[in-house]
Amino acid sequence: MTQEEIITRPLRRLDPEDAQEALTRIQDVLHRQQLVSDLVHRQEAGDERAGLVESVVQRQHESEIKALLDDLHPADIAFILESLPKTERQAVWQLVGTEHDADVLLEVDDWVRESLIEAMDRQDLVAATETLDADELADLAPDLPPDVVAEVQKGLTEDERAQLIEAMGYPEDSVGAIMDFDMVRVREDTTLKAVLRYLRRMRELPDHTDQIFVVDRQGRLQGTLSLSRLLVGDLKSKVQDVLSPDYLSLSPLDSDADAARAFERYDLVSAPVVDDQGRLVGRVTISEVVDVIREDSEEQALSRAGMQEEDIFAPVGMALRNRAPWLFLNLCTAATAAFVASQFEDTVSHIVVLAFLMSIVAGIGGNSGNQTMTMIIRALAMGRITGHNVWQLVKREMTITVLVGLCGSVGAALFAWLISRSIPVALVMMAAMVCNMLVGTTIGVLVPMLRARFGKDPAMGSSVLLTFATDSLGFFIFLGLATLFLL
C-alpha cells in the first residue's frame, strides 16, 4: 500500500455500537426488501412492470447494505453475519467486499463459517485464502474443501508450506494450533544498530510486537530483547550483552488454556514457542489468547446447561439433537424428585403447609450448591486445585455452608412458623434446609472434580446433576424429617 493510499483511505472508527446500529439498519433494509418482494408476488403473473420495480428496488437495497458494510471493520461484519438467519446471512455475505472475505472468515465463529463457505464458489475461496499467512490458513483449513487447500498450498513458499503442515498437525486446543509464525528474530552476536537497521527495512512490524527473540546459529532461543531496551540502549552494544535471559516460553503441545493462564498471570503481550530442542518455532500473542479465553468462557456457560455451540438460527432438528439429551435427563431427574415427594403423600395430606415449604428447601440447596460449583469450576480452570489442597478446600466449603445455612435457616424457620404457627414445623424446616445445603455443596464439589479427574469437561451438565440431587434429596430430607417428628 502506497503512502498516498494510506492518506486518502477513509478512517474507520472502531466502536461496537456502530456495529449494533449497522445491524439494525441492515435488518430494516432486508425487511423492506421482503415487503417489496411480497407485494410483487401478489401481482398478476407475467406483470413485467412489477418485476422491473422489484429488480430496481433490490439493487437500491443492496447498494445501501454494501455502503454500510464498507464502513465496518471485519470483526463488526462478522458480528452482523452471526446475528442474521442463514438465508439473510448469505445474502449479506454476497455484498461483503472481496478484500474483507478472508478477514471475516477468520473472525466469525465456526458454526457461521461453515455456512459462509458453502455460499462461496471454489474460485472465490481460493482468492480469499491465498493471501493468508500459514497460521491463519491452518485455522481455516478444517472448514475448507480439500481441493481449495491443495490449490492454495501451491502458491506458498517451501517455508510457508512446512509451517502450514506443522500448524495443522497440532491438536485443536494446543498452543501449536494458535501460534503465529510471523515474528522478529535476530542473532545474539548482532549489534543494536544492526537490529534497528534491520527493523527499518521491514514494511511493518508483526502485530503485537513488544519484544524481539534472540536466537543462536542453530535457531535455539537465547533470550528476548524488548523494544524499549533496543530504543534506549547503546547502539554499539551487542544483543547478547543486553538481552533478557529470563522469559516465559511455551511448548507447541501445551494447552491453550495453560497459555491463557500464563498471559493473565504475567501480563504478557507475546510469548515465544520452542520445541523440545529449544528451537524457536513460533509465538503466541495476546490477540489469540483473548480468543481462547472468550471461547472457553462461552463453552463453559453452554456446558453447564448441557449444551454445545450451535447456530442461533440453526434448523429445529439440529437444535433438538443438541438440547434434547440433557433435557430428557432433566425430565428424568424431575420425575425422580416428584416420585420421592409422592412417597410422603400421607405426611403432606396431614400437614398441608409442607407442600408450600419443601420448594424453599430444594431451591436454597440448589443455590448453595451452584455457588460452590461455580467456584470449583473456576478454580479447576485456573489450575489452583491440587491433590494437596483439595481436602482443605472441601472442609472450608462445608464450614462455610454450615455457617451460612445456620444463619439463613433461622429466617426460614421464622417464615415457616409465621405461616404454620408450629414450632416443630419451623425446627424441621431449619434442619432440612441446613442438610440440603450440605448436599448441594457436596455435589457442587464432587461433580466437577470427578469429571476433571476422568478428563471430562467439569462444567458439562453440572447444573442438571445438581438440580437432581438438591430436589430429590431435599424433598426426601424435609418430608422424611417431617414424617419422623411431626406425625
CA distance 130 to 284: 23
- Residues 322, 255: one domain? no
- Residues 208, 278: one domain? yes
- Residue 92 is predicted with a pLDDT of 92
- Residue 307 is predicted with a pLDDT of 59
pLDDT at 321 over 80: no
- Residues 341, 425: one domain? yes
Averaged pLDDT, 327-351: 84
Residue 391 domain-assigned (yes or no): yes
- β-bridge mates for residue 186, sequence order: 214
- Residues 102, 22: one domain? yes
What are the φ/ψ torsions at residue 191 (nearest 5 degrees)?
-85, 160
- Residues 421, 476: one domain? yes
CB 317 within 8 A of CB 454: no
pLDDT tier at 461, thresholds 50, 70, 90 = low
Quick: pLDDT tens for 44-55: 555 566 667 677
Residue 309 domain-assigned (yes or no): no
CB 483 within 8 A of CB 344: yes
- DSSP H stretches of helix in 233-310: 239-242, 256-266, 286-304
Which contiguous run of DSSP H or E holds residue 96? none
Pairing, β 211-215 against β 270-274? unpaired
pLDDT tier at 8, thresholds 50, 70, 90 = very low
- Residues 481, 348: one domain? yes
- Residues 300, 321: one domain? no
353-381 vs 390-420: helix axis angle to the nearest 10? 160
- Helices then strands, counting H and E runs in the chain, come out as 23, 5
CA distance 149 to 195: 36
Averaged pLDDT, 14-34: 82
Domain end position, chosen among 304, 324, 351: 304
Contacts of 34 (CB under 8 A, 6+ apart): none
Is-above-0.85 flag for pTM? no
- Residues 321, 268: one domain? no
pLDDT tier at 451, thresholds 50, 70, 90 = confident
Counting Cβ atoms within 10 Å, is residue 435 exposed (0-12), middle (13-18) or buried (19+)?
buried
455: alpha, beta or left? (left if phi > 0; alpha if psi -120 to 50): left
CA distance 107 to 105: 6
Identify the DSSP state of 270: E
- Residue 313 is predicted with a pLDDT of 63
Residue with cell 489469540: 288
- Residue 1 is predicted with a pLDDT of 40
Domain CATH code at residue 251: 3.10.580.10
Domain CATH code at residue 130: 1.25.60.10
CA distance 476 to 470: 10
- Residues 272, 375: one domain? no
Residue 410 domain-assigned (yes or no): yes
Residue 175 domain-assigned (yes or no): no
In terms of Cα–Cα distance, which of 329, 348, 271, 274 is closest to 466? 329
Lowest-pLDDT choice from 17-21, 175-179, 248-252, 357-361: 17-21
In terms of Cα–Cα distance, which of 365, 345, 372, 446 is closest to 405? 365
Averaged pLDDT, 243-267: 91
List, as one string, the DSSP characters of 291-347.
HHHHHHHHHHHHHHTT-----TT--HHHHHHHHHHHHHHHHHHHHHHHHHHHTTHHH
Domain end position, chosen among 169, 199, 225: 169
Amino acid at 87: T
Averaged pLDDT, 68-88: 89
| Structural domain range at position 214 | 185-304
- Residues 347, 468: one domain? yes
Domain end position, chosen among 280, 304, 328: 304
Averaged pLDDT, 333-340: 84
CB 132 within 8 A of CB 103: no
- β-bridge mates for residue 250, sequence order: 273
- Residue 5 is predicted with a pLDDT of 40
CA distance 161 to 130: 12
pLDDT at 438 over 60: yes
pLDDT at 13 over 60: no
* CA distances to 32, 294, 324, 339, 365 from 306, in Å: 38, 18, 9, 24, 20
CA distance 74 to 457: 32
- Residue 10 is predicted with a pLDDT of 45
Query: Which SS3 state, helix, strand or coil, does residue 222 take?
Result: strand
Averaged pLDDT, 190-195: 93
Cell of 308: 454445545
- Of residues 126 and 314, more confidently modeled: 126
Averaged pLDDT, 131-158: 85
SS3 content of the chain, % helix, strand, coil (to 5): 70, 5, 25
Residue 179 domain-assigned (yes or no): no
- Residues 289, 323: one domain? no
What are the φ/ψ torsions at residue 284 (nearest 5 degrees)?
-115, 135
Query: Which SS3 state, helix, strand or coil, does residue 283 take?
Result: strand
CB 220 within 8 A of CB 279: yes
In 331-353, which positions are buried (b, 16+ CB within 10 angstroms) versus exposed (e)? Answer: eebeeebeebbeebeebbeebeb
Number of domains in the chain: 3
Residue 5 domain-assigned (yes or no): no
Contacts of 328 (CB under 8 A, 6+ apart): none
pLDDT at 41 over 80: no
Cell of 382: 485456573
CA distance 158 to 451: 44
Quick: pLDDT tens for 196-230: 999 999 988 999 999 999 999 999 999 999 998 99
Residue 379 domain-assigned (yes or no): yes
Domain CATH code at residue 331: 1.10.357.20
CA distance 225 to 229: 7
- Residues 374, 414: one domain? yes
CA distance 136 to 453: 34
Residue 204 domain-assigned (yes or no): yes
- Residue 303 is predicted with a pLDDT of 63
Averaged pLDDT, 337-366: 88
- Of residues 319 and 280, more confidently modeled: 280
- Of residues 136 and 215, more confidently modeled: 215
- Residue 82 is predicted with a pLDDT of 87
